[in-house]
Amino acid sequence: MAASSDRIPPPLLPAKEEPGAATPDMADGDSDEGEDIFFNNSVPVAVSRGVSQPDNVNEQTPDLFGEEEAGSTTAISNGVHSDDDNDLFAASSFTTSPAALQPTSLEQMEEDEAEDSFDVDVAVTNPEKVGDGMGAYVAYKVSTRTSLAMFRNKTFSVRRRFSDFLGLYEKLSVKQSLHGFIIPPPPEKSVVGMTKVKVGMDDPSSVEFVERRRGALERYLQRVVSHPSLLQDPDVREFLEREELPRAVSTQALSGAGFLKMINKASDAVNKMTIKMNESDTWFEDKFQEMENEEQQLRKLQAVVDSLVNHRKELCGSTAVFAKSMAMLGNSEDNTALSRALSQLAEVEDKMEQLHQEQAASDFFIFAELLADYIRLMGAMRGCFDQRVRAWQRWQESQSTLQKKRESEAKLLWANKPDKLQQAKEEITEWESRVTQYERDFDRIGMTVRKEVLRFEKEKAKDFKSQIMKYLDAMLQSQQRIVTFWEAFLPEAKAIA
Amino acid sequence: MMEEVNEVTSTLSVDIQSIKVTEVVKDGHTLTFLIESEKLSGTGVYHVDRTYDDFEWLQQHLFSQEEVSGIQGVIFPPLPVKAQVNASAKVIKQLGILGLGEWQAYCKAMETFVRQIAAHSILGKNNAVEIFLTSSDPPGRHRVRKNIFNRLSQAMEGMRKEGHKDVDEFFQTERDHNLVFTGCAKTAAERFLDVVQTEQKIAVACGHFSTALRLCVEQGEDPDELDFTKVCVKLSEVFESIQKNVTSVAENNVSTLGLGLDLESRYQEAEKEMLYRRTCKLVELETTRRNAEKAKPVKKAAMEEVKKAAETEFDHISGVAKEEIARFQAARVKMLQQALVQWCEKQLLTAKESADQFNQHLQAFRGMA
């Protein structure tokens, strides 16, 4: 439609905002705050111990939100950076409308660097198997620490199961996606993984599965609460606070490789719609293409990381076997000093094996999961873009309906049927306002999508950076431990006479 | 024209410690080794090129020194299996750690072989060694007469002899011990090879990751993505470092402990062969004794002669063998010690360097906006 070209987005009305209730973070356009909780994950060393020794999951310090110091080697906290900002969240009304967001121009949106803090930290910990047999499930402790007044308490926790998380996503999707928000996707269902867990939670692959899921659920929640608009959704609050949650039942759609399939299906549906969108703003087209390319790249990276993780696991195995063969060699050896050195060597190699194990876990939990998260997030982004196209289509359709109404009004004028004419006039008024509304919706969703994309990209860079630093830290510690092993072994080797 | 091996004994005219296999050249299917050694007179360096056939020629010459008494009691330095360009899977398996890469480890093993022969108190005196190291003509084109150590015929004669009880406790112990140790050493060498090969796979995967990351960012020049691009570029560098680290670790493994375990394994086999030769002689001796006892008076004197000859030879062999075993045990402990110390030192250095590198990367990330 020619009308859609060269349009300047109208200023959004702050009509729904109550005086004094505006949240500082929602009032300004740039809502990239909460970076600290957005992507904070467990330190890999702890995570890996969670993999190889299930007991450690419960041994973690009770302070789930312990602050991570830069370069700290022993922080086992599962939780999130706490923010020291004391900006309290004033009592507010809960509006699910994003109308309170009011960027005045795109430039301002991008420049805005307001340092509002988010005072919500969440952590997902303590997976516990509930029940027996095939009906069993795993319950996680969801802990929240907040200074926001919209919550009843400052710290509290509830127990949730996986389907609860999926249920939250379902609800958010239904309500929020129409606004163009990127709804963070939850981790995927896994029949295989869960069956193993139902049978028994003790074997290494089950432990790994549960830990992986726990981490993914935590990151999912962190992303939800760090989104200024989603945090306002009462379902989110209910999820965090309410003791007992009604069982989520409509999670069928998210089974299997569900989430991405769903997004792709929706995309296809949009593409098949007859009215092709006439894109006036090439930004969206370009961005979409970029995103698709990037998603492909991420998938390639994911494949390489998977292969790396497998090789590291292989290395654990071969190191262990080698260690045993050296121990045997040491045992058969007559020369005492040589025998001792060989036995020491076997011990060093055992320690190496442990290190390789941790390294593999680190590779996996840091990179593989990071990439998987972002591939899913990019799918969610595509969903946003689709929402915008739908909004445009709705607007176009309403314009065409209005046109038809006007035509029938004209016909009725000629036919001289006064009562029907009245009805026609009423309908025209109604549709005129609809057209206005849908146009406004379209513009608004466009703004939101742009904001979301910018926010996403900033967060992505920060997220990757933070994970990489974690990884480097773990690598550094690894190397330092290796140095101590070799330094201890050297005198033994030299002592062989 | 090949020089005749006239004299049995000679003094080597080169400095044994200077013997080096400097390079290996691929010529179609053949590998040619360039060997260097410094003249003891200080007047220069010998450069010769030798193929595997030449090494075998040397070995055969040494095997066939019938005139040296007790020669069968010598533990012969083991020659590695023949390396080939595009070797079959079977050969690769036999080569073990020596088959990795571009033959660097293999060259080292060949060098060790030559040095050990040159340094051997009996073997080093053979003129063939001098010819091998100094003659400009490759000596190996001539087929040498069949050596007395034809393994094939020995194997066929009977594995039953291997278990034959010894008359000397020293040797019985040594045989028992060697049996256990040969197996352990071979296993250890094989397991270590597995470790190294997996490390190489990891290095390759890291390289792929690094490359894939660079491709990732070449796509767009979106200003919004600038931060992310920077992150990806730095991460790509990180993984290059990791790749270097793992490659170093694998190389250290091969060049020190890997070679050490391989040599240990092959040397234990060489000792096994010597002990077996002696055992066979023992069986022969016992046969001649029985024959002498049972002999009819007509043949008695002759049988006694044969018996005495067998006894003398067996005593010589046992005498040489005892010395060889003592030398071998001392040498292998020293060799393993060196291998372990070098291995440890190299890995320590690599670990420290890597720690430094990772720290630098970490600081760089922290400094990033």
pLDDT band, very low/low/confident/very high, at B29 (cuts 50, 70, 90): confident
Q: Is a pLDDT exceeding 70 seen at residue B8? A: no
Report yes or no: B230 and B237 within 8 Å, Cβ to Cβ.
no
- The residues, any chain, with a CB within 8 Å of residue A108's CB and separated by 6 or more, are A29
pLDDT at B278: 92
- Residues in A touching B224 (Cβ below 8 Å): 110, 453-454, 457
pLDDT at A361: 83
pLDDT at A9: 44
Q: What is the pLDDT of residues B125-180, one digit of tens each?
A: 888 999 999 988 888 766 555 555 555 445 545 566 778 888 899 999 999 999 99
> Which of A298, A472, A483, A490 to mutate to test binding with chain B, by most B CBs within 10 Å of its CB?
A472
C-beta atoms of B222 and A290 within 8 A: yes
pLDDT at B85: 84
Q: Pull the structure tokens for residue B179.
A: 């049996």
C-beta atoms of B365 and A460 within 8 A: no
Integer Cα distance of A87 and A409 in angstroms:
57
Q: Is B233 on the interface with A (CB under 8 A)?
A: no
Integer Cα distance of A375 and A58 in angstroms:
31
Integer Cα distance of A31 and A459 in angstroms:
11
Going along chain A from its start, the domains and CATH numbers come out as 112-250 (3.30.1520.10), 311-494 (1.20.1270.60)
pLDDT at B146: 54
Q: What is the pLDDT of residues B169-184, one digit of tens each?
A: 999 999 999 999 999 9
CA of B140 vs chain A CAs: smallest distance (Å): 38
C-beta atoms of B181 and A332 within 8 A: yes
What average pLDDT does this structure show over B285-303? 89
Return the residue of B nearest to A451 by Cα: B224
Q: Is a pLDDT exceeding 90 seen at residue B248? A: yes
Could you report how far apart the first and last alpha carbons of chain B are, in Å? 75
pLDDT at A68: 39
The closest CB to that of B228, out of A457, A483, A494, belongs to: A457
pLDDT at A153: 85
In this prediction, what percent of chain B has a pLDDT beyond 90?
A: 57
Reported ipTM: 0.89
Report yes or no: B278 and B317 within 8 Å, Cβ to Cβ.
yes
C-alpha distances (whole Å) from B160 to each of A61, A118, B255, B276 are 66, 83, 39, 11
Residue among A124, A44, A65 at smallest CA distance from A357: A44
Instruction: Quote the DSSP letter at residue B72.
Output: G
Q: What is the pLDDT of residues B103-121, one digit of tens each?
A: 899 999 999 999 999 999 9
Average pLDDT, chain B: 87
Residue B70 gets the label, from left (phi > 0), alpha (psi -120 to 50) or beta, of left
Report yes or no: A296 and B219 within 8 Å, Cβ to Cβ.
no
What average pLDDT does this structure show over B272-278? 92
Q: Is B199 on the interface with A (CB under 8 A)?
A: yes
CA of B345 vs chain A CAs: smallest distance (Å): 7
Q: What is the pLDDT of residues B198-213, one digit of tens each?
A: 999 999 999 999 999 8
CA of A326 vs chain B CAs: smallest distance (Å): 6
pLDDT at A31: 38
Q: pTM for this one?
A: 0.78
Q: Is a pLDDT exceeding 50 seen at residue B52? A: yes
pLDDT at A117: 52
C-beta atoms of B362 and A332 within 8 A: no
C-beta atoms of B333 and A345 within 8 A: no
Residue among A390, A376, A394, A393 at smallest CA distance from A460: A376
b/e map A244-267, b = 16+ CB within 10 Å? ebeebeebeebeeebbbebbeebb
Q: Where are the alpha helices (DSSP H) in B64-168?
A: 89-95, 104-119, 127-134, 151-157
| Cα dihedral B251, B255, B256, B260 in deg (nearest 10) | 130
Bridge partners of residue B362, in order along the sequence = none
C-beta atoms of B219 and A454 within 8 A: no
- Residues in A touching B180 (Cβ below 8 Å): 332
CA of A250 vs chain B CAs: smallest distance (Å): 37
Bridge partners of residue A63, in order along the sequence = none
| Cα dihedral B201, B202, B206, B208 in deg (nearest 10) | 20
Q: For chain A, 497 residues long, give each residue's pLDDT as a single digit of tens.
A: 333 344 444 443 333 433 433 333 333 333 333 333 333 443 333 333 333 333 333 333 445 554 433 333 333 333 333 333 333 222 333 333 333 334 344 444 444 433 345 578 899 998 888 888 778 888 999 999 888 888 888 888 899 999 899 889 988 888 876 788 888 888 888 777 777 777 777 777 788 888 888 989 999 999 999 888 888 888 898 898 888 888 776 665 555 455 666 667 666 666 665 556 666 778 888 888 888 888 998 999 999 999 999 999 999 999 999 999 999 999 999 888 999 999 999 999 999 888 888 888 887 888 888 999 999 999 888 888 888 888 888 899 999 999 998 888 888 888 877 778 888 888 899 999 999 999 999 999 999 999 989 889 888 988 899 899 989 999 899 999 999 999 999 998 998 86
Bridge partners of residue A143, in order along the sequence = A123, A157
- Residues in A touching B176 (Cβ below 8 Å): none
- The residues, any chain, with a CB within 8 Å of residue A403's CB and separated by 6 or more, are none
> Which of B335, B336, B360 to mutate to test binding with chain A, by most A CBs within 10 Å of its CB?
B336
